[in-house]
Amino acid sequence: MSSQSTISMDELVALCKRRGFIFPASEIYGGLNGFWDYGPLGTELKNNLRDRWWQDMVRCSPTGPDGEPLSIVGVDTSIIQHPKVWEASGHVGGFNDPMQTCRHCKKLLRADHVADMLRESEWRHALLATLDAGDDASEVTVVAGALRNWAQRKGKKAAPGLALVRQVDEVTAALERRNGETIAVDELLALAAQITDGAPCPHCGGDLTAPRQFNLMFETYVGAVRDDDNKTYLRPETAQGIFLNYRNVLDTMRVKLPFGIAQIGKAFRNEVTPRNFIFRSREFEQMEVEWFCHPDDAPKWYEFWCAQRRDWWRSVGLGDDNLLLRSHDADELAHYAKTGCGTFDIEYRFPFTAPGYGELEGVAHRTSFDLEQHQEHARTKLEYFDQQRNERYLPHVIEPSGGLSRGVLAVLCEAYTPDPERPSKVYMKFHPRLAPIQAAVFPLVAKDGMPEIASKLYQQLRQRYVVQCDVKQNIGKRYARMDEAGTPYCFTVDSETLTDQTVTVRHRDTLQQERIALDAVGGFLAEQLAAS
């Protein structure tokens, strides 16, 4: 895989649309910002990643420090819960982001995202280019004349809210007093925006209001009457459904501490600035385990899950050079995280964060916060009686929580491999067991009995694998299509097949071709996938 900093997100997004991985939601109506639809290949890829996680975490759970398999069971809880759940969890009172509004274009922005968005802003790039300064420049030389020319020509379209554009004479006069002076880029932007301190709007350059708090939960109503008595929320996380069923699992599954409850499901957050494709969206999927343990054992299990989850992402094909393990600073901790253990992030170097990293999964020590809150608000005893210790207590919780949607994006970014020598110019180097199409069967030409042999082979393979049979176009174009779909193996029926009952196998990554017996294809594919 090439360096993530060299991958074009525009090209990756275009490939995802062209090959049926991911589409904008409601596209024929112009789309809906922050929502995405998974196409045929994207659905297979997401389901493969999801199923691999479920297999490795629940059905064949990891081996613990004592050499024994962990006890983890699964649940699938309701997206809409009783509204008091979110009061108890702290989301109603504390699930807020600081927001700012642009006074010019009226867009609502997360205050803590403005700086990053400004660095990506098209008008900022254009303004720096006017002064012959690169995007990564920390200082620039003030050239008032060049800034005036830009404002009067290109600035009106690029940044109509910028004070330099709206009040060109007044702002240029201030800049002329500093003509030829070297100043920080941020200072220049503040001067160009409003002749005062503060960051301008990343969209139009306008003045931003002071930050104010904004709740991220989607509201909805249950029942016929839309009033406060019937108001509830779409869940902003999947964890609370697990905590609500902690007692039910104890009573029905004969589990004992330590044990885990796993869930994969959708969550919803009314993100004000969804961006970077499916990285930050308003509807997304999570893969979570809540691991219940004795409070004294929490540090040991926290360390175990940090290492285990890092290794799992490696096992599905993410490279070490693109993974980073980072502990949260004290000011980053969520309200439920314990200072000392805290939260450990597994981060991935996405193309839009490079050379930095973006969160892929968090491992948090939630202490007994959630069970305490629900015990108090629901007036229900949730303590665990530990017969071995002869002790009654509320367990502490270690939570490995990964984003399925972000995991799909990381897998797509990792797989995207430019190759100018191929007709497709790029191929998707998916881990073979994650590939949405595991094999393709081609007749070299649509005559001489080749389609019939290919169809029979396809019918055999499709009983166990995701396989496509394609008889259209020349063989080179069919290979190119499978490269962009990330298909690891292509089997071609040709004239030699008619005489010696062998087929050509093309390996996606190396382009190596070899011949194997027609009746050995199933065994070959099983062996290759098992070894990956």
pLDDT by residue, tens only, the chain of 532 residues: 445 657 889 999 999 999 999 999 999 999 999 999 999 999 999 999 999 999 999 999 999 999 999 999 999 999 999 999 999 998 887 667 788 888 888 888 888 888 888 888 888 888 888 888 766 778 888 888 888 898 888 888 889 988 888 888 888 888 888 888 888 888 888 888 866 556 889 999 988 888 887 778 899 999 999 988 899 999 999 999 999 999 999 999 989 999 999 999 999 998 877 889 999 999 999 999 999 999 999 999 999 999 999 999 999 999 999 999 888 665 555 555 554 467 889 999 999 999 999 999 999 999 999 999 999 999 999 999 999 999 999 999 999 999 999 999 999 999 999 999 999 999 999 999 999 999 999 999 989 999 999 999 999 999 999 999 999 889 999 999 999 999 999 999 999 999 999 999 999 999 999 999 999 999 999 999 988 7
In a domain, 48, yes or no: yes
Alpha carbon distance 177, 175 (integer Å)? 5
Contact assessment for residue 235 and residue 243, using Cβ atoms and an 8 Å cutoff: no
pLDDT recorded at residue 271: 85
Write out the residue range of the structural domain in which residue 36 sits: 4-93+226-414
pLDDT recorded at residue 529: 92
Domain identity same for 278 and 406: yes
In a domain, 214, yes or no: no
pLDDT recorded at residue 1: 45
Helix, strand, coil percentages (3-state) for the chain, rounded to 5, are: 40, 25, 35
Contact assessment for residue 338 and residue 377, using Cβ atoms and an 8 Å cutoff: no
Domain identity same for 76 and 188: no
Q: Is the torsion defined by CA of 274, 277, 280, 283 positive or negative?
A: positive
Residue for token pair 């949730």: 382
Domain identity same for 142 and 67: no
Domain identity same for 71 and 146: no
CATH number at residue 427: 3.40.50.800
Domain identity same for 510 and 487: yes
Ramachandran angles phi, psi of 126, nearest 5°: -65, -40
CATH number at residue 403: 3.30.930.10
In a domain, 199, yes or no: no
Split into its structural domains, the chain has a count of 3
Residues 6+ apart with CB under 8 A from 455: 469
pLDDT recorded at residue 394: 96
The residue from 194, 218, 238 where one domain ends is 194
Domain identity same for 274 and 302: yes
Secondary structure element (H or E) that encloses residue 11, with its range: helix 9-18
Contact assessment for residue 183 and residue 140, using Cβ atoms and an 8 Å cutoff: yes
In a domain, 340, yes or no: yes
pLDDT recorded at residue 143: 87
Domain identity same for 369 and 430: no
Q: What is the pTM of this model?
A: 0.81
Rg (CA), the chain: 28
The residue from 354, 386, 414 where one domain ends is 414
In a domain, 276, yes or no: yes
The residue from 390, 414, 438 where one domain ends is 414
Domain identity same for 385 and 266: yes
Domain identity same for 427 and 384: no
- One-letter amino acid of 293: C
Domain identity same for 405 and 450: no
Domain identity same for 253 and 278: yes
In a domain, 204, yes or no: no
In a domain, 109, yes or no: yes
The DSSP annotation for 82-139 comes to -HHHHHHTTHHHH-EEEEEEBTTT--EEEGGGHHHHHHH-HHHHHHHHHTT--TT-SE
Domain identity same for 428 and 410: no
Ramachandran angles phi, psi of 388, nearest 5°: -65, -40
Helices marked H in 232-379 = 239-244, 246-252, 298-315, 369-378
Residue for token pair 């008595």: 229
In a domain, 208, yes or no: no
